Structures are given as C-alpha cells and as structure tokens.
Amino acid sequence: MSTALAESRRIVITGLRNAGKSSVMNNLFEKNVSIVSNTPGTTTDPVTRKIELGNLGPCAVSDTAGVDEFGELGEMRRVKSLERLKTCDIVIFVSRADRDIDPEERSILNGIISQGKPFIFVLTCTDLMADQKKLDWAQEYNPIKVNNIDAQGFKDLRKRLDSLKIVDSHELTPVEGLVNEGDFVILVTPIDLAAPKGRLIMPQVETIRDLLDRDCATLVLKERELKQFYDKLAIKPKLVITDSQAFAQVAADIPEDQPLTSFSILFARKKGDLNTFIEGIEAIESTPKNAKILVMESCAHHRQADDIGTVKIPRLFKQLVRQDVEFDFTRKMPSDDELKEYYMVIHCGGCMITSNSMIDRMDIVKRNGTYITNYGLFLGWVNGVLPRAIKPLL
Ligand code: SF4
C-alpha cells in the first residue's frame, strides 16, 4: 500500500453518469470511498484510492465523472475522465442493464477496444427490468452482472480482476543496466531552499533504493563536500549521479573520465523515450524567431523564488538561445491546437506520473509537430556536459 501512485497499476472506472460507478468502487474497497447517489453527476473530480489486488499487485483505482457530463464545468470533468482513461492500464466499464445503449457509451467502449486496453464490462441494476438491446450488447463482452440486492457480482468482479493477465510495458528502474553488484556509486543531492524539509525527493529515494536492491554501495553527499571526499577515495565510483542543477560544479570537481549523469536524465530514460528528448535538444539551436516554448510539469509542487521551471529554464534559454522567445507554463496537457503553437516543450522529470502517461504526453506533443525535451537534458546542455551525461545510458 505504500507503493507510489506512479508505480501502481492504474484502473479506471468509467461509464455514463449514474451508471453505478461509485457503487462499483465502494464494493471493490468494501467501504465507502466514493459518494453514491441517485442524482446523476455526483462524482465530479476523479476519486483515486490504492488497493492490493491478487496477481495485479498494487493498484490505484479511480472513480471518474460520467462521460456524458455536459455544460462548461461538465465538459471539463468529461475531459479529465477521458484523460484518465487514456493513460490507465485497465478499464472497468460500467453500464446499467435497465437503460438503452447510449451512443456516448458505445463510442467510449469502442475507443477502449481500439486502444487494446484490458477491460471488464460491468452490467449494473440487473435486478431491474432489463433493456434487451443492452443485454445483447453486453453479452458480447462477457459482462460481470451486479444487482442492488446481493454482493455476488462484486465478488465476481474482484475474481475477474485477479485473473487478468496484463502484459507489462516494462518501466526501467533508475539504474537498470548501468551498474553491477558490488559497484560503488556517488549521489550528489544539493540541500538548498528548493529541497523539501527533512527528506529527499522521490527520484533520489528511488535511485538509492534501486542501488541497494542491486547490492551496490552508495555515498550520498552535497555538492560542496564532493571534491573533498572524492579525492580521498581508494576506489573509482562506477557512476556519479547528480541533481541537474549542480551539473557544472560536479563536472568540475571530478576527473573528466569519471562517468557522470543526473537524476533527471535517469528519469528521462525510465519514464519516457531518451532518444526523443535528445532530438529535442538537437533542435534547440534552430529555435526560430519569436518561438513559443512550453514548460510542462506533472505535479503541483511548491514553487520557490528561483524555481527551475518558471524562472531558471526561461532565463537560461533566453541567455543562451535567443531573447525573443515566449514562455508559457502548464501542468495539464494542452489541446492539439494549442500544442501546434509551440516550437518546443521542456518537460520536468515526471517522477509523479507513470511511464505510460509520459510516453502518452510525448506522443501527443510529437504528433503536433512540436519538439520535446526534459529539464535534465536541457541543464546538461546548458552546462556543456550533455554528451558526457548521456554516455553512461547509451
Ligand atoms: S514537477 Fe515533475 S519532476 Fe518535479 S516533483 Fe513534480 S512530477 Fe516530479
């Protein structure tokens, strides 16, 4: 249950308003985690809870707003629900047995099938007078039938989930393939104003854990202590991994032949497609006059005065590439039309999202003819250490 959301399988419960999605969620968790009401549209924003499910392991289950929401707010909720659907691993599609087939639900189900996502069709309200067309339609997908009287259907749903065979799109661990048992690795983690109080950030924690799992020894220190300790070492580290913002100092304090990379470059490889990010860097020097650049992050972290995304990266870009570029900032995926206006997206490390979500973001950006790179690669390029910083990963 302590598995990070970004490392859990994503299960999304979808369907029309008032189809019984929240009841499915509550019965799956055997407690009230989502509000159930006869009023359509009770679930507004997605409700996500973690659960451990048999063969699937740690899962994050989201109950979403109806795909038939309407009005200005409804449309925003609908878009949010559809976004969840795109990046999830498994879909629970909920439809009422006593209602005729709605074109919207047919289109959603067709979309799920065309994406090749595993899904379970849950037919609710089977104790009420059924609509024959709905029954015939559902029958094609071997539905789980649930009624409002007993919980048998929900037990069947859990069993069906347990038995799903999911082909994993393998997400690399931070140092997979880069180290061997017994290797020694130095991690440079600046503790500045941007560092959270009393803890390390997730990419640092995950990397330390991965190194320990691989029976490696680690030395964790701040950039100020690096030279002093490095010079006393009796063995050469297999790798030095630094926060990208300390690249310049770290590169200057260790020998040139010392393999070096950064946490965000490790995460660029783990979450996304490193080659596509490198293509983005290669396009920087051709940035046209008055180009628009979009800085995209994946979570609402607390911004500092000299924030990397909103302050440092725009400043460095204007100093080193061209002054006349215009920067925008977002945490949400823009529409296709909005994306087409940007020459390049510079994305954060994406440590809070799954690799599926990051790959999905990258595909959407590329489809719209926009380049994409990430913070770590950009800072490596700025500091003139990029070839060195990606070498251990190629
Ligand atoms: S902004 Fe991006 S890299 Fe930073 S914590 Fe959030 S998800 Fe992770």
The residue extents of the domains of the chain are 5-163, 184-266, 284-386
With a 6 Å cutoff on the Cβ, whether 352 touches ligand 1 is yes
Residue 153: CB atoms within 10 Å: 19
| CA 42 to ligand 1 centroid distance, Å | 31
Q: Do domains 5-163 and 184-266 have the same CATH topology?
A: yes
pLDDT at 164: 80
With a 6 Å cutoff on the Cβ, whether 349 touches ligand 1 is yes
pLDDT at 32: 78
Please state which CATH class domain 284-386 belongs to. Answer: alpha beta
**Beta strands in the chain, from DSSP E residues, in sequence order:** 9-15, 47-53, 57-63, 90-96, 119-124, 144-145, 184-188, 217-221, 239-242, 260-262, 292-296, 326-330, 344-347, 371-374
Please state which CATH class domain 5-163 belongs to. Answer: alpha beta
Cβ atoms of 226 and 254 within 8 Å: the answer is: yes
pLDDT at 152: 78
pLDDT at 332: 82
Which of 117, 92, 95 has its CA nearest to residue 106? 95
CA of residue 9 relative to chain centroid, distance: 11
Pocket test for ligand 1, best of 267, 301, 330, 353 (most atoms within 8 A of CB): 301
Ligand 1 atom with the shortest distance to the CA of 347: 2
- Reported as half-sphere exposure (CB side, CA atoms, 13 A), residue 73 has a value of 5
Pocket test for ligand 1, best of 297, 303, 312, 332 (most atoms within 8 A of CB): 297
With a 6 Å cutoff on the Cβ, whether 266 touches ligand 1 is no
Rounded CA separation 24/160 (Å): 13
Ligand 1: residue whose CA is nearest its atom 3? 349
**C-alpha to C-alpha distances, 80 to 16, 36, 104, 343, 378, nearest whole angstrom:** 14, 20, 16, 25, 30
142-155 per-position pLDDT tens digit? 999 998 777 778 88
Rounded CA separation 389/394 (Å): 10
With a 6 Å cutoff on the Cβ, whether 373 touches ligand 1 is no
Q: What is the DSSP letter of 57?
A: E
Residues of the chain with confidence (pLDDT) below 70 = 1-7, 34-45, 166-170, 193, 301-303
Sequence-distant (≥ 6) Cβ neighbours of residue 20 within 8 angstroms: 94, 96, 122, 124, 125, 146
Largest CA distance in the chain: 80
With a 6 Å cutoff on the Cβ, whether 303 touches ligand 1 is no
Sequence-distant (≥ 6) Cβ neighbours of residue 148 within 8 angstroms: 125, 127, 128
pLDDT at 294: 97
Cβ atoms of 124 and 23 within 8 Å: the answer is: yes
Ligand 1 atom with the shortest distance to the CA of 300: 6
pTM to 2 decimal places: 0.69
> In the numeric block, which tokens belong to residue 151?
């919980």
| CA 157 to ligand 1 centroid distance, Å | 35
With a 6 Å cutoff on the Cβ, whether 243 touches ligand 1 is no
Rounded CA separation 267/92 (Å): 30
Pocket test for ligand 1, best of 206, 352, 357 (most atoms within 8 A of CB): 352
Rounded CA separation 329/221 (Å): 32
Which of 298, 248, 280, 311 has its CA nearest to residue 374? 280
| CA 301 to ligand 1 centroid distance, Å | 7
pLDDT at 77: 76
| CA 255 to ligand 1 centroid distance, Å | 30
Rounded CA separation 294/344 (Å): 6
With a 6 Å cutoff on the Cβ, whether 301 touches ligand 1 is yes
pLDDT at 42: 64
Ligand 1: residue whose CA is nearest its atom 6? 299
Cβ atoms of 319 and 384 within 8 Å: the answer is: no
Fold of the domain spanning 184-266: Rossmann fold (3.40.50)
